[in-house]
């Protein structure tokens, strides 16, 4: 229970502005008659018992003559403070915490009773309209317990010893005990249920570890799948290039056959050239003979000689030979064109062989890479075709 350390009253009865400092022990107020001792008692009693049933009310004569209101201020040993302002136009109360200038509770129009917060601040002071107040005894009151009836004396002692509060506390504790006993029983049932439910998760750590291992396996599988996809891509590229190689080989075979044909044509051309040379020599001889024949024709016409059948046959053969020579000359031109085409084909063949060599080198490189990836797949027990 907190104790009053200072009383400060203003304009209250004959106290215009009085400050009283109280010590920790017993405090005694002394003074002549009408010096204001009872006024201080009355101010304290009003602060603590205002609104209590049977106490009474504020007396307007308590406000000093010439003032409109009185103030009562109590400071306690814990630093808290209560300020009460009461008069014709004012009815206010303020509560302060230790060292604070601003109140934590205020009310500018106080009713006939205090709010519960004020009562708790004053430690719920006791007052009974028959027994009176335990903290305050007026000088006109009867001697302690003498004026009380036989039935009131035990009640008064019970209240002084707070026995009724103990009884109420026991009843309250019994109710609380019954309530919490039930809550404990329900809690124990829930705990048992939770324990039963937790048994289902007894191997949760091993399952979590398994899940972690599964995640690791998933990562490894993803890496292997990526490797397989890369190997499959390389394999597909290798298959495509192998197909290209086969196609080029077929083209090369066709080119080889064509070259063989050209070489045969070249051989024929050489034979024709030889025949042409022979025919040219024959042509020269025939030309000479024709020249002689023309001369003979002129002489024949001049002298009207007859040409023998044998000579006419030879002349016809010579005409055939001349046509053959002309055909040979045309063939020579065609062979020259074919020779040019043959040179182009030889160049194409050379370029094709170079490209074919490059492709074969690339295929060998791809076959080496495929072999390496197949080795990786085999080491990981993965099928190179289905990826499993």
CATH of the domain at 34: 3.40.50.300
86-100, 236-250, 368-382: segment of lowest average pLDDT: 368-382
> How far, in Å, CA of 370 to CA of 230, rounded?
10
Residue 249, domain extent: 218-379
User: pLDDT > 90: what percent of the chain?
Assistant: 22
Chain centroid to CA 211 = 21
List helix spans (H) across the chain. 37-49, 116-121, 152-160, 163-199, 204-303, 309-379
Domain-located, residue 175: no
Flag whether 130 is in a domain.
no
Q: Give per-residue pLDDT as tens, 235-245.
A: 888 788 878 88
Choosing from 99, 125, 151, the residue where a domain stops is 125
Residues 235, 358 share a domain: yes
Highest mean pLDDT among 138-147, 174-183, 259-268: 174-183
Q: What is the DSSP letter of 112?
A: S
pLDDT of 175 > 90? The answer is no
The reply to whether 349 and 227 lie within a common domain is yes
**224 lies in the same domain as 121:** no
Phi, psi of 42 (to 5 degrees): -65, -40
Answer yes or no: do 373 and 233 share one domain: yes
Instruction: Using the predicted structure, report yes or no on whether residue 170 has a pLDDT greater than 70.
Output: no
Residues 234 and 340 in one domain: yes
CATH number, position 336: 1.10.287
In a shared domain, residues 331 and 228: yes
Domain boundary (94, 110, 125) is at 125
**The pair of three-digit structure tokens given for residue 242, joined into one six-digit string:** 């192998």
Structural domains in the chain (count): 2
**Which residues are CB-contacts of 262 (< 8 A; sequence separation ≥ 6)?**
338, 341, 342, 345
- Tens digits of per-residue pLDDT, 361-375? 777 777 777 777 667
Give residues with Cβ within 8 angstroms of 69, minimum separation 6: 11, 63, 85, 86, 87, 88, 89, 90
Predicted structure pTM score? 0.41
């Amino acid at each position: 229970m907190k104790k009053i350390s200072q009383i400060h009253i203003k304009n209250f009865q004959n106290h215009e502005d009085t400050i009283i400092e109280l010590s920790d022990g017993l405090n005694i107020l002394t003074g002549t008659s009408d010096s204001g001792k009872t006024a201080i008692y009355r101010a304290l009693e009003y602060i603590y018992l205002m609104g209590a049933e049977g106490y009474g009310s504020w007396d307007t004569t308590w406000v000093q003559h010439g003032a409109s209101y009185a103030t009562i201020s109590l400071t306690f040993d814990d630093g808290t403070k209560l300020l009460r302002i009461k008069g014709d136009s004012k009815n206010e109360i303020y509560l302060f915490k230790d060292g604070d200038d601003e109140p934590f509770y205020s009310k500018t129009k106080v009713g006939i009773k205090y709010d519960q917060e004020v009562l708790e601040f004053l430690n719920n002071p006791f007052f009974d309209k028959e027994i009176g107040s335990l903290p305050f005894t007026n000088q006109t009151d009867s001697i302690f317990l003498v004026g009380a009836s036989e039935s009131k004396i035990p009640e008064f002692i019970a209240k002084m010893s707070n026995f009724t509060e103990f009884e109420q506390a026991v009843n309250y504790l019994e109710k609380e005990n019954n309530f919490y006993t039930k809550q404990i029983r329900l809690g124990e049932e829930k705990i048992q249920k939770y324990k039963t439910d937790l048994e289902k998760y007894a191997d949760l750590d091993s399952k979590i570890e398994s899940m972690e291992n599964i995640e690791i396996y998933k990562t490894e599988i993803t890496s292997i799948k990526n490797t397989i996809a890369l190997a499959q891509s390389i394999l597909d590229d290798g298959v495509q290039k192998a197909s290209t190689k086969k196609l080029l080989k077929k083209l090369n075979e066709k080119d080889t056959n064509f070259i063989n044909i050209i070489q045969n044509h070249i051989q024929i051309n050489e034979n024709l050239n030889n025949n042409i040379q022979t025919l040219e020599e024959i042509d020269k001889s025939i030309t000479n003979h024709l020249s002689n024949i023309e001369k003979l024709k002129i002489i024949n016409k001049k002298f009207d000689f007859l040409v023998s059948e044998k000579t006419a046959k030879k002349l016809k053969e010579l005409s055939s030979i001349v046509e053959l020579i002309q055909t040979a000359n045309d063939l020579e031109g065609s062979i020259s064109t074919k020779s040019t085409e043959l040179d182009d084909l030889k160049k194409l063949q050379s370029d094709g062989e170079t490209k074919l060599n490059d492709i074969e080198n690339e295929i060998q490189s791809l076959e080496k890479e495929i072999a390496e990836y197949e080795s990786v797949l085999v080491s990981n027990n993965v099928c190179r075709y289905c990826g499993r």
